Amino acid sequence: MAVEYHFGQTGIAFEDVLDLYRASTLGERRPIEDHARMQQMWTSANLAVTAWEEGLLVGLARSLTDHTYCTYMSDLAVRVSHQRQGIGRELIRLTRAAAPDATLILLAAPKAVDYYPRLGFSRHESAWILRPSDELAPV
Ligand SMILES: CC(C)(COP(=O)(O)OP(=O)(O)OC[C@H]1O[C@@H](n2cnc3c(N)ncnc32)[C@H](O)[C@@H]1OP(=O)(O)O)[C@@H](O)C(=O)NCCC(=O)NCCS
């Protein structure tokens, strides 16, 4: 069956988004029970691409971008029933096409560490994160 792709969050029921997080397993690594937080994550993303099959949300890419220098792709999720059909790759391609001059940046989930190198991503040896619970050390 044909998969259609759309940009933006307009007209998408938040319950469908939550369902996809669960159906892809990515929900295991996101604050899925905190609906207010998940809703803010979804609505505040300024580059969302979704994949649909006959009205069913089967994949999404949720990113934050300045459209010219960097795009942080926070979430890439495809339903388990629809994985390994090229949907993830197409979601990445479209995310990139929306901001072609921007470098795509992401943190791979454990289940996807071997996925991104297959698609041509390179590991960045000087990537750093500061979690909300981490102290900002004095200089
Ligand atoms: C990772 C994920 C988004 C990939 O989406 P997908 O639609 O299944 O991937 P594609 O069909 O575009 O895969 C393209 C290629 O990568 C391979 N591949 C897919 N998932 C892979 C994985 N987890 N590890 C290694 N290779 C993988 C496919 O086999 C395919 O290669 P092939 O055509 O030679 O068989 C999807 O498996 C998923 O949602 N996983 C659970 C959530 C998750 O971990 N998301 C990533 C958050 S960083």
User: Which atom belonging to ligand 1 lies closest to the Cα atom of 111?
Assistant: 44
pLDDT of 35 reads 97
User: Own/partner pairs for 74-80, CB < 8 Å, 24+ apart?
Assistant: 74/41, 74/45, 74/106, 75/21, 75/26, 75/30, 75/41, 76/26, 76/106, 76/112, 77/20, 77/21, 77/24, 77/26, 78/24, 78/51, 79/20, 79/23, 79/24, 80/23, 80/24, 80/25
pLDDT of 26 reads 96
- Decide whether any atom of ligand 1 lies within 6 Å of the 17 Cβ: no
Q: Which of 123, 110, 93 is nearest to 5 (CA)?
A: 93
Q: pLDDT digits over 44-65, tens only?
A: 999 999 999 999 999 999 999 9
Average pLDDT of the chain? 97
Q: How far is residue 39's CA from residue 45's CA, in Å, rounded to a whole number?
A: 10
- Give the model's confidence band at 124: pLDDT under 50 very low, under 70 low, under 90 confident, else very high: very high
Multiple choice CATH, 4-118, 3.40.50.300, 1.10.260.40, 3.40.630.30, 3.40.50.1980? 3.40.630.30
**Ligand 1 mutation target, pool 115, 119, 123, 129, most atoms within 8 A of CB:** 115
Q: pLDDT digits over 5-15, tens only?
A: 999 999 999 99
pTM of the model: 0.96
- Decide whether any atom of ligand 1 lies within 6 Å of the 87 Cβ: yes
Q: How far is residue 56's CA from residue 52's CA, in Å, rounded to a whole number?
A: 5
Measured in Å, residue 81 CA sits from the centre of ligand 1 at 12
Pairing of strands 70-78, 103-105: parallel
- Give the model's confidence band at 111: pLDDT under 50 very low, under 70 low, under 90 confident, else very high: confident
User: Which atom belonging to ligand 1 lies closest to the Cα atom of 87?
Assistant: 7
